[in-house]
Copies of this chain bind each other. A is one copy, B any other.
């Protein structure tokens, strides 16, 4: 059977309460996208499949002044499936990143382009990190982290947010370090004799 990848992320998200496809997309954006990215089309398709398989049930909600929506909640079978998944073996993950392909390859004449790519990524990661920090702060809302971890009714989302934050933080540090290393070599390429002349 294997993966059913997105499926369990959707079930996990619905555990926090019923949602329409549209609402689910937003929920993914703030809480799930850190560790499982999905496009709205995928979510709509997945919800249809989950309902077909009896893991969620949808009901139509009429709205004044807004289009009707279809709101889904977990069935018992859905909760069971989620629990089964949590107990099943976990596949390890690895980074899969175009940027690293570039850095791996861009050692020679394309060094400048690699540095540019690293700089762009450093900026992107720093911006994402800032958003994560803000989210963490708004969840803690002045409380001490240790106290929150002890007392909050649910900590799962906080823990996963922390993982996303650590990832982006690591991205920023690594990019900056790599930029430094490559820039030093770029300079060296232009002034090689000078350096050799000063060395013992």
User: Min CB distance, A69 to chain B, in Å?
Assistant: 24
Contact residues in B for A185 (Cβ distance below 8 Å):
149-150, 155
Quick one: CB contact mask for A158-200 with B, threshold 8 Å, 1 for yes?
0110111011001001100110011011001000000000000
Contact residues in B for A85 (Cβ distance below 8 Å):
101-102
Contact residues in B for A173 (Cβ distance below 8 Å):
166
A48 interfacial contact with B, CB 8 Å: no
A105 interfacial contact with B, CB 8 Å: yes
What would be 21 A-B contacts, judged by CB atoms less than 8 Å apart? Answer: A11-B105, A31-B104, A32-B104, A35-B94, A35-B101, A37-B94, A87-B110, A89-B120, A90-B120, A92-B124, A92-B125, A94-B164, A103-B160, A104-B157, A108-B154, A155-B182, A162-B177, A163-B174, A163-B178, A167-B167, A167-B170
Taking a contact as CB atoms under 8 Å apart, the answer to whether A96 and B95 are in contact is: no
A82 interfacial contact with B, CB 8 Å: yes
Contact residues in B for A9 (Cβ distance below 8 Å):
101
Contact residues in B for A100 (Cβ distance below 8 Å):
34-36, 160, 163
Copies in the complex: 2
Contact residues in B for A155 (Cβ distance below 8 Å):
107, 181-182, 185
Pick from B121, B149, B156, B170: contact of A106, CB under 8 Å? B156
Taking a contact as CB atoms under 8 Å apart, the answer to whether A102 and B120 are in contact is: no
Taking a contact as CB atoms under 8 Å apart, the answer to whether A95 and B182 are in contact is: no
Footprint of B on A, CB under 8 Å? 5, 8-9, 11-12, 15, 31-37, 82-83, 85-87, 89-110, 113-114, 117, 120-121, 124-125, 149-150, 154-157, 159-160, 162-164, 166-167, 170, 173-174, 177-178, 181-182, 184-185, 188
Taking a contact as CB atoms under 8 Å apart, the answer to whether B96 and A35 are in contact is: yes
User: Min CB distance, A113 to chain B, in Å?
Assistant: 5
| Cα–Cα distance between A15 and B32 once the two chains are bound (Å) | 37
Pick from B35, B97, B117, B149: contact of A181, CB under 8 Å? B149
